[in-house]
């Protein structure tokens, strides 16, 4: 049930209307309409956003809509807020208190509502909340797409964690999601890979070789040359063969590493297939027809400055070889042809300057480029023993994702990668990640889940979760947990709409902290039976929500620690 269920709007008194933030938003809209009828200027077409107040004592939800009213009516925000509150429809069945603080309007949810909310969690368990924001719309998320020239490093790992969690998040929201990996197996970087392998083969034969700064110098190619020397020794001069051989082996290793990281793809698309199917050639011809390409100095240029790029870009070189931009435009044209409602690309932040030229190409082709969302992922710095480790695939001075997983575990890697917005740089403290202590957020969250499992193993009076006397939950720690649980669907919906799975990590930490405080201060088992049953229901609610959030992040809840 959602707030858009018109039938449910008539069921306020029986507690079936469970999305408080939706009702609050609707109430504010009604109040604004009444003010408008009285001659106030009100914001038109502006979404009413709720947020959490800075202090717990100020309530559960807050809005600063009065500040918008103040600007439109030349009145103090406090006065605007007080007038708007007077126009709110009755909210007593789910709101305990509405108050104005410095122009902010704060809403405190009532205990009966919180009890009914917990009842809904216990009914839906790990499926809570059942959302249908996407209504089956199709989304394609392309992520990782690392060049098959070396093992995945931790920067790739961050992109993998974000793409995987975002895919899970959108599926939770009712979208039909496909996960795609795009393999760049054409171009100079693949040639360099073949040349680097040839140098390693010659090195095995005792020849003194010199690597240029552009060659790949990691141990992985040395190991590949040694392992497959007898198969490759007659191919030392065939750089094309060596390039294909090495890139395919590396791709297989990449996909295996990602599988161990909890990431699998529905589709693998190879760049060379775009050439074999003449998609690049057709895209270039169509761009010519749309006047998006012109010739200069023997090359073909995309007139990308027409759509805001800082300069026009070469799309076909003087030697008639298409640039990567040409194949990328063709690739996106092919993706659009599949009929998705939304395309999401997750790229490294170093691609920032590339976005305008790609969008320009799509606009020339008449494609709905507004349906393409590009998420840029900033660099990861790995900190170990107080020192920052470097990343360089070609020099071989990198820490691979596989090595990091072996040292701290898959779940820890995923969680740490998801603790910050993608567009902010991340310091991964490996020493903290290995600690079994409260300051390690992953440990603390999984420990809360393990503690709950321990409670259930000890409890010998299990009863069906029906008819619980939840009104017996009166301790401050219990009320705090109830209030946190009531925030979960709102937070989840916000994360879905903003494509920001990292929002879940902070929430799960807060929920775990509140549970540990409850566990330490309140006797959960051994009291009066009805109270014990109510507390069992609360603990089960915490477990369900925690498990739901961890599942979205791709992390396995622990039953024992």
Residue 46 inside a domain? The answer is yes
List for the chain the helix, strand, coil content (%; round to 5). Answer: 55, 15, 35
The domain that holds 546 is classified in CATH as: 1.10.730.10
Contacts of 532 (CB under 8 A, 6+ apart): 461, 524, 525, 526
Mean pLDDT score across all residues of the chain: 92
Long-range CB contact pairs, 186-191, < 8 A, 24+: 186/271, 186/272, 186/275, 186/327, 187/271, 187/324, 189/147, 189/149, 190/147, 190/148, 190/149, 190/243, 190/247, 191/239, 191/243
Write out pLDDT tens, residues 452-509: 999 888 876 555 666 789 999 999 999 999 999 999 999 999 999 999 999 999 999 9
Identify the pLDDT of residue 17. 53
Identify the pLDDT of residue 457. 86
Identify the pLDDT of residue 317. 97
Which domain does 208 fall in, by range?
A: 188-254
Q: Which of 234, 254, 274 is the last residue of a domain?
A: 254
Nearest CA to 20 out of 41, 2, 44 is that of 2
Q: Are residues 122 and 18 in the same domain?
A: no
Q: Which of 108, 125, 151 is the last residue of a domain?
A: 108
Identify the pLDDT of residue 1. 18
Spatial contact of 517 and 497, defined as CB atoms under 8 Å apart: no
Residue 24 inside a domain? The answer is yes
Q: Are residues 128 and 195 in the same domain?
A: no
Other beta carbons within 10 Å of 56: 11
Identify the pLDDT of residue 411. 97
Residues in the chain with pLDDT values less than 70: 1-18, 390-398, 460-466
CA distances from 240 to 151, 205, 524 (A): 20, 21, 68
Parallel, antiparallel, or unpaired: how do β-strands 95-101 and 104-109 relate? Answer: antiparallel
- Rg from Cα positions in the chain: 28
Residue 34 inside a domain? The answer is yes
d(CA 343, CA 358): 14
Spatial contact of 312 and 301, defined as CB atoms under 8 Å apart: yes
Identify the pLDDT of residue 461. 57
Domain count along the chain? 3
Based on the number of CB atoms within 10 Å of its own CB, is 295 exposed (0-12), middle (13-18) or buried (19 or more)? exposed
Residue 263 inside a domain? The answer is no
Identify the pLDDT of residue 498. 97
Q: Which of 254, 283, 308 is the last residue of a domain?
A: 254
Residue 247 inside a domain? The answer is yes
Residue 143 inside a domain? The answer is no
Identify the pLDDT of residue 561. 79
Q: Which residue has the tokens 């540990």?
A: 516
């Amino acid at each position: 049930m959602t707030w858009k269920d018109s039938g449910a709007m008539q069921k306020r008194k029986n507690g079936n209307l469970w999305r408080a933030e939706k009702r609050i938003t609707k109430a504010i809209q009604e109040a604004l309409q009444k003010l408008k009828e009285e001659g106030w200027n009100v914001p038109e077409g502006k979404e009413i956003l709720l947020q959490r107040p800075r202090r717990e004592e100020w309530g559960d939800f807050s809005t600063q809509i009065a500040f918008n009213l103040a600007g439109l009516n030349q009145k103090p925000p406090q006065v605007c807020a007080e007038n708007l509150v007077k126009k709110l429809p009755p909210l007593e069945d789910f709101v305990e208190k509405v108050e104005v603080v410095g122009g902010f309007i704060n809403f405190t949810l009532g205990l009966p509502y919180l009890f009914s909310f917990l009842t809904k969690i216990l009914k839906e368990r790990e499926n809570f909340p059942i959302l249908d924001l996407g209504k089956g719309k199709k989304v394609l998320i392309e992520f990782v797409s690392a060049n098959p020239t070396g093992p995945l490093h931790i920067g790739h790992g961050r992109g993998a964690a974000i793409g995987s969690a975002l895919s899970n998040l959108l599926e939770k929201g009712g979208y039909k999601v496909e996960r795609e990996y795009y393999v760049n197996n054409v171009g100079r970087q693949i040639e360099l890979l073949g040349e680097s392998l040839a140098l390693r083969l010659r090195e095995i034969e005792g020849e003194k070789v010199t690597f240029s700064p552009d060659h790949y110098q990691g141990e992985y190619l040395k190991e590949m040359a040694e392992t497959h020397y007898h198969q490759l020794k007659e191919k030392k001069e065939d750089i094309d063969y060596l390039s294909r051989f090495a890139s395919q082996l590396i791709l297989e290793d990449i996909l295996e590493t990602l599988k161990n990281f909890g990431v699998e793809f529905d589709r693998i698309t190879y760049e060379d297939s775009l050439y074999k199917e003449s998609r690049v050639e057709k895209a270039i011809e169509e761009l010519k027809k749309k006047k998006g390409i012109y010739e200069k100095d023997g090359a073909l240029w995309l007139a990308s400055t027409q759509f805001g790029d800082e300069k026009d870009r070469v799309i076909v070189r003087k030697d008639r070889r298409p640039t990567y931009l040409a194949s990328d435009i063709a690739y996106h044209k092919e993706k659009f042809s599949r009929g998705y409602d939304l395309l999401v690309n997750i790229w490294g932040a170093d691609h920032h300057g590339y976005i305008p030229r790609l969008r320009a190409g799509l606009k020339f082709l008449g494609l709905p480029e507004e349906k393409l969302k590009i998420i840029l992922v900033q660099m990861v710095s790995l900190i170990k023993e107080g020192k920052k480790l470097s990343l360089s695939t070609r020099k071989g001075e990198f820490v691979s994702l596989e090595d990091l997983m072996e040292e701290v575990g898959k779940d820890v890697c995923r969680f740490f990668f998801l603790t910050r917005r993608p567009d902010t740089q991340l310091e991964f403290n490996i020493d903290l990640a290995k600690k079994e202590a409260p300051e390690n957020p992953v440990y603390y969250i999984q420990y809360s889940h393990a503690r709950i499992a321990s409670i259930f193993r000890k409890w010998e009076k299990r009863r069906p979760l029906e008819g619980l006397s939840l009104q017996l939950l009166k301790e401050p720690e219990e009320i705090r947990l109830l209030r946190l649980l009531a925030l979960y669907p709102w937070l989840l919906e916000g994360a879905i709409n903003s494509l920001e799975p990292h929002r879940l990590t902070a929430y799960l930490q807060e929920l775990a902290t509140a549970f540990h405080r409850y566990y330490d201060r309140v006797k959960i088992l051994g009291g009066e039976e009805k109270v014990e049953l109510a507390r069992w229901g609360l603990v089960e609610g915490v477990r369900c929500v925690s498990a739901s959030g961890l599942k979205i992040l791709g992390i396995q809840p622990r039953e024992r620690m």
